[in-house]
A and B are shown apart, each in its own frame.
Chain A
Amino acid sequence: MAEKTIMLCCAAGLSTSLLVSKMQKAAELNGIDVKIFATSAADADAKLDEEIPDVLMLGPQVRYLEGQFKDKLNIPVEVINMQDYGMMNGEEVFKRAVSLIHE
């Protein structure tokens, strides 16, 4: 069982799925046992109840959902940096997610 869970969310959960595999690699390289998964905006509520993530990272394309999630969740919620997202920089996004959990 992984220690912490990172949840990513975007419109269809497609591009964030790509990012998940890159973040997973970064986690392995750093020797951190963590669960990372991606979901679509439509399925986000169900997954939040099911998986109880420690942090929620949003794709920049669903920036408009940030307020909604912040209102109803008491875990850190943040929009992924646009440059990191565009370059699919799993390492940077992973580091950011971990630092949000420990904040």
Chain B
Amino acid sequence: MTENQHHEDEQLEVIMGLIINGGNAKSSAFEAIQAAKESDFATAEEKLKESNQFLVKAHDVQSKMLINEANGHKTTVSLLMVHAQDHIMDAITFKDLANEIVELYKKLASQNSFIFNEAGKLIPGFLFLVLFMRL
């Protein structure tokens, strides 16, 4: 294998690492929202944590490239590299918003649990409260 070919393969591996970790972070964040939608908040929290771990991995790869660049070893910027950066930016934004959406679902669930019980039936206590307020 020529030196050049070896370098290219290494480069591709780094880029794919960014794409996969960025993509996985987004996938996990998406699954967190889906779990929260079903009121499964334990899974939602788990998935948000998982999303963060993938982002940390992507961040490590990026940091290494930045350090290399600072040391005078420039990374070639290819279209695929730009695309990989897109994936990471997208994942960061998506994960931050997923955090907020999970919080919203939690709030919604705690408000609903005051009016409805787990089976979706009206809670008698709530009815009494409404009656009491009318009196």
Contact = CB atoms under 8 A, between A and B. Distances in A.
Interface of A: 10-12, 14-15, 18, 59-64, 82, 85-88
A14 B80 contact: yes
List 3 tightest A-B contacts by C-beta distance, closest first. A61-B23, A64-B30, A63-B27
A64 B50 CA distance: 14
Chain B, interface size category, equals 10 to 19
Contacts, number: 48
A85 B12 CA distance: 11
Interface stretch (B14-22, B38-46, B64-72, B105-113): B14-22
Nearest to A79: B27
A15 B83 contact: yes
A11 B20 contact: no
B12 A88 contact: yes
B95 interface: no
Given A12-B83, A15-B83, A60 B17 contact: no
Given A60-B23, A60-B24, A61-B24, A11 B16 contact: no
B23 A88 contact: no
Given A61-B26, A61-B27, 9 more contacts: A11-B87, A11-B90, A12-B83, A12-B86, A14-B83, A59-B23, A61-B19, A86-B17, A87-B16
5 contacts: A11-B90, A12-B83, A15-B19, A63-B24, A82-B24
